[in-house]
Structure 1
């Protein structure tokens, strides 16, 4: 009988694959308060999670409890919190990894979306104003010190463009800082920053003071280990003080970046990672900073460390994608492909369980793969990747057009560029046209964000028509591109005027002059002359910008040719000139 039982057990064991999964009951507690409210509780918010947990509603203290039954340790879960027009500010905390024998507690902050948007806009405007001012100051300083070389100008322009591109991301990060939950030192710094005084904000976050506070917190944490109940409280307090010190170093680094103090920013980032080497966010931010500074070799060890530091599978996807980007920038195709492939494998697995949350991760990774294939002239693979990206974003946009329609447009534009590079003009025209229609639709609601994309796509369409010798259609769409770019330039010349000149060169130097040859209509010569003169006068205002210098040389070269044509026409007999007219 014992042998028969043993045989049955062996069969059952083999059927189960030889291993048994152990499930646990996990309790997740949390408290939700309003942003910057003095910890005012959010009452009546509905808190849910993926299958396996009860739903709960926050009580009068803003507290909730979720119980996960029969969940394996190490499983990632995503919370959802809903109450009217409120949104979760620190949304990163909504992703939680369940651990064995751990009663997890989280703090969430909420506010209305309009309030968060307003905070973002405020911080963005402050950041842009400071970047623009400091760029002018640095240019003037280099000029006075006779250091305004072509290389120095290029580096300064690169730094400015990089910061302008990062301004929205930094503004979003600043907007999510809860003044109720930060140290007095950080609060003082943010008050200076919100007043537009970034230098005082940097000074308030004194480097030596923050490092000393972190060291004291670590000592206090060690002492707390030796005590019992009181020691646990002291440990929790010390842990929070240490965290505030680390975050203070990161805030100082961010402010320094906006103030072009890159060496000090690097020092703060490195100290934050040194004090907390397992901090995923700090390591990630340092790696990205070094990448943006073109210090790829220094960035590599931090990027390589990120997948092992990631506390969720979603963060591992991001880590592998960033590692792939680094390898691609360093022209290491196989390593880049390997990193992206790992990110794709993880993101697809996550999307199978929760497509609403993780399909976008699949799309981001496929887009990176498409870019990698494109720069390596593997057009078939690039088409497959971009086509899958488009399919995913269209699916997501049906449910949430406000969030994902812009990515449908961007992917259509990318496909247009790919088709054009592969001489598939019909397909390129269709892709560009669809991208333009979407960007126009988006620009009606948010012109500041999407009018630049409208102008870019109009320009792409114009150049496509030009390559097909469809000159009238090229002229029509490039006039629209110039008009759109003029609207943008009127609001922000430094951001958009150089691109306006590029559109003018395309319209005047390429289209009107070719129409002149085709039709012998001298009005095209006058229009080309007018556009080149305007472009030259505008571009002379930006001697420190390499792209402006490149366009200026092009415009001046075209203007010289126009002047030569005019000189020849003057020497022609009057009757011939009348004939031409």
Structure 2
């Protein structure tokens, strides 16, 4: 049968005039409700975040590049934090929560964030905390999310603390606060929060909560390059989830696949290629089975695992296996993008770009060109709508297509592509130099190769010197990543001098 996704929005008195405020009812199959609710709450959060960003951007006409970069970072952090909120809200059963919470939630879903915050005043929440702790925690956490979508992170932290003060041992409150801190790169606070969650979950013997906390701690450790700690936590989470899935496969098999995928990513990062392959293949087998029964929920995960396995195949020079994986992932993602282009078109472009790189390596140059050009068309459209998010991807595809043009001796097309990519790279690096200056150096390097081939020696020298200057700044921070770039550019400059 079918169930309502947005039940909380239907708890209102209909206006006398039906044109004043139409009632919108979102339905889905009963088995898809949690996934559809997750998407619904995430969409509403993203809409509020984008509204805040546009308003702040318009108010920041005279802001510096650093201030604009910070604004973009705040938007991205708010969107990442919204993931946990959407998952938590989707798991709630219809009809739960205090009237205070439900009123504020309806206002939020109508886009009235300020009114929702007024509804959730500290005074009302403290009063609720004395009468019904669980309902008060739920309301404090909603208030924290409302502050987050407005980039008021300090106020959000106080609201999270309000939830924890209501019940210091609450797993839900501590887990939500730890996630929030992790997305803001407040690693110490996040680690402390997850440690508290783990202690609570272990004391209560809640295996699902133990595994979820270990998984997030592992991601936190991986991001901080504590690889062995991350491995230990991923492995324990996987072991627990296997045991849970053995007793209740319908509920826990998706978590097993997630754990396998996370551990495989770590294995690939550490060049443990065969272990990574084994993990991806088992995760893919589970996700294929899940997607057969419930495609709306699990097809995106199947495509993601196919893409990851194809990347591993390409790295191991298993080019036909990689091609097959990319093509299957692309087919799935095209189907998903037909139904939901805003969510899945970026994945289509990413897979096209990966497949084009592979075809270029296999000397299937016309196939590669066709894929690059389609990826480029998609990324231009995406960058027009959301330049901060998609301009860097557009520059990557321009750069890759220009390399192919150079290989095929289409030198003027190559120059045009490199120059457009360089213009974009410089623009995004001005706002966020730590992330995008290496892309400027890479494109300068590629353009210098073309200049050398066309006997434009001085232009090549100038480009290489600027690239070297950038790489030498970054090699001090990350020698493992940038030493080879410094050596390559120095070698090219020496060759030019002869």
Q: Which bin holds the TM-score, normalised by the shorter protein?
A: 0.7 to 0.9
Aligned position for 2:262: 368
- CA distance in 1 between partners of 2:277 and 2:5 (Å): 47
Q: Which residue of 1 aligns with 2:157?
A: 266
Task: Measure, in 1, the Cα distance between the counterparts of 2:100 and 2:258.
Answer: 38
Distance in 1 between residues matched to 2:289 and 2:339, nearest whole Å: 21
Instruction: Name which of 126, 129, 138 aligns with 2:47.
Output: 126
Matched, 1:544 2:419: no
Residue in structure 2 matching 1:486, options 370, 380, 389: 380
| Mapping 1:74-89, distance limit 5 Å | 85=29
| CA distance, structure 1, for counterparts of residue 438 and residue 242 of structure 2 | 44
Aligned residue pairs total 435
Shift of 1:539: 5.4
Map 1:177-192 → 2, pairs under 5 A: 181-183=96-98, 185-187=100-102, 189-192=104-107
Q: 490-499 or 294-303, which moves further after superposition? A: 490-499
Q: Is 1:495 aligned to residue 406 of structure 2?
A: no
Query: How many Å separate the matches in 1 of 2:41 and 2:283?
Result: 28
SS at match of 1:423: coil
Higher fraction of strand: 1
Identify which of 12, 35, 39 aligns with 2:7. 35
Distance (Å, rounded) in 1 between the aligned partners of 2:213 and 2:168: 16
Alignment match of 1:296 (pick from 187, 212, 224): 187
Deviations 1:133-169 (A, max 9, x none): 256268x28x54x6x54xx665544332233344455
Residues 486 and 88 (structure 1), Cα distance of their counterparts in 2 relative to 1, 3 Å cut: closer
Where in structure 2 are there 5+ consecutive unaligned residues? 14-26, 458-498
Cα distance in 2 for residues equivalent to 1:84 and 1:485: 31
Counterpart-to-counterpart distance in 2, 1:118 and 1:364: 18
1:388 CA drift (Å): 0.9
1:243 aligns to what? Answer: 134
How far apart are 1:512 and its partner, in Å? 0.6
Q: Distance in 1 between matches of 2:111 and 2:213?
A: 34
Say whether the 8 Å CA contact 1:504–1:532 is kept in structure 2. yes
Of stretches 425-434 and 405-414 in structure 1, the one that deviates more from structure 2 is: 425-434
2:415 is matched with which residue: 513, 529, 538? 529
Contact 2:81 2:180 in 1 (8 A): no
Look up the match of 1:515: 408
Are residue 205 (structure 1) and residue 120 (structure 2) matched?
A: yes
Cα contact 1:39–1:180 (8 A) shared by 2: no
- For the pair 1:275 / 2:166, whether they are aligned, the reply is yes
Max radius of gyration: which structure? 1
In the alignment, structure 1 residue 387 sits paired with structure 2 residue 278: no
Q: Report which of the two has the higher share of helix.
A: 2
TM-score, normalised to structure 1, is: 0.65
2:133/2:166 contact within 8 Å kept:
no
Q: Which runs of 5+ in 1 are unaligned?
A: 1-31, 41-82, 92-112, 218-237, 517-523, 570-581
Structure 1 partner of 2:176? 285
Distance 1:289 1:85, change over 3 A: closer
Verify the 8 A CA contact 1:123 1:171 in the aligned structure 2. no
SS of 2:372's partner is: helix
Q: Is the 8 A contact 2:72 2:388 kept in 1?
A: no
Residue deviations 1:449-476 (CA, integer Å, cap 9, x gap): 2211111011111222334454333222
* Residues 390 and 412 in structure 1, CA contact (< 8 A), matched pair in contact too: yes
**1:164 aligned to 2:164?**
no
Partner of 2:323: 429
- Specify the alignment match of 1:438 in structure 2: 332
**How far apart are 1:35 and its partner, in Å?**
2.9
Q: Quick one: distance in 1 between partners of 2:30 and 2:298?
A: 20
Q: Does 1:451 align with 2:345?
A: yes
Matches within 5 A, 1:404-419: 404-419=298-313
Does structure 2 conserve the Cα–Cα contact (< 8 Å) formed by 1:135 and 1:160?
no
Contact 2:128 2:135 in 1 (8 A): no
Q: Distance in 2 between matches of 1:557 and 1:313?
A: 52
Distance 1:548-1:376 versus aligned 2 partners, 3 A rule = closer
Matching residue of 1:136: 57
| Residue pair 1:337, 1:369 contacting (<8 A) in 2 also | yes
2:408 match: secondary structure? helix
Structure 1 residue 125, shift from structure 2 partner: 5.1
